[in-house]
Amino acid sequence: MSLETLSRAAIIARRCGTDAATALLNEGLLSEEAFYRALARRLGAPFLVGPLAICEGVPYARCLMSGAAPLAGCEGGETLVAAPRGAAVARLIAAADRLAEPPAITTPTVLKQALFARYGAAIAEDASETLGRLRPEWSCRPGPLAVDLALAGGVLALVVLLARLPTAAGFVLLLLVQGLMLALLTFRLAAAAIGAAEIVRADASEPRPVLLTDDALPTYTILVALYREAPVVPRLLGALRRLDYPAAKLDIKFLLEADDDETAAAFRATPELGLKVPL
């Protein structure tokens, strides 16, 4: 790695208010494997390329967040493999001299693949069911809700009532119901029109907002779910690469099904775009 590349990463990190390791990887200045090989050399630790076997019964959520996990089948004690990210890289380097034995180093991609290979079913269940358990009101649940059943019952009761009433009374009731619906529709349209007028007046009277500097911008995670869409991968990656946002402040993740080998192969076949692609 050249001094020019390191200097460029340091400038980007300073401008964006992040660390140089994140700038190097997210900007595509250095490949993930080259970076973590260099880190292993700096620590005097082995670099593992995978596939890795993770121990049974480890808290996989904590491993994914911390970037470290114990390896299975190690004689003479437990061996830790680490793939630190962001500021954790600098902390590990600073603590290396105080460690009796540094952890083995791998890439975040290899560590994630090892954890998914061991705990894939549990991770998938957590991803799909945790929101429903913790925040049921935010989650889409199968089947009709109580409100849906109440509305359907009300409509059915109204239909039965109209069918049993005399013609004149039924006609009057129908007019009342239609009048109520028309009033509700008029109210909603008027509210939308008033809201739009308020926005226009606010835009005309208020000063233009001041744009944030790169260091004040938040980090965004972008989740891109794909299934059997290999033909669109090159255009999609190109569009994401052209986002007018600091790459050091973007965390882009592509969510693929385990059996979608075609789309995964399309991602791996487009490294020239320089976009970090965690799968």
**Coil, helix or strand at residue 244:** coil
CA 122 to chain CA centroid, Å, is: 18
The tens place of each residue's pLDDT in the chain, 279 residues long, gives 688 888 999 999 999 999 989 999 988 889 999 999 999 999 999 999 878 999 888 899 999 999 999 998 654 456 899 999 998 999 999 998 888 888 999 999 999 999 999 998 898 888 888 888 888 778 776 666 677 778 788 877 777 766 666 676 667 777 787 888 888 889 888 887 777 666 666 655 667 778 888 999 999 999 999 999 999 999 998 899 889 999 999 988 898 888 899 998 888 887 644 444 444
Q: Helices 87-95 and 32-43, interaxial angle, to 10°?
A: 20
Q: What is the pTM of this model?
A: 0.70
Instruction: List C-alpha distances in Å: 113 to 102, 118, 129, 158, 169.
Output: 22, 9, 21, 57, 69
Q: What is the dihedral of CA 262, 264, 267, 268, to 10 degrees?
A: -100
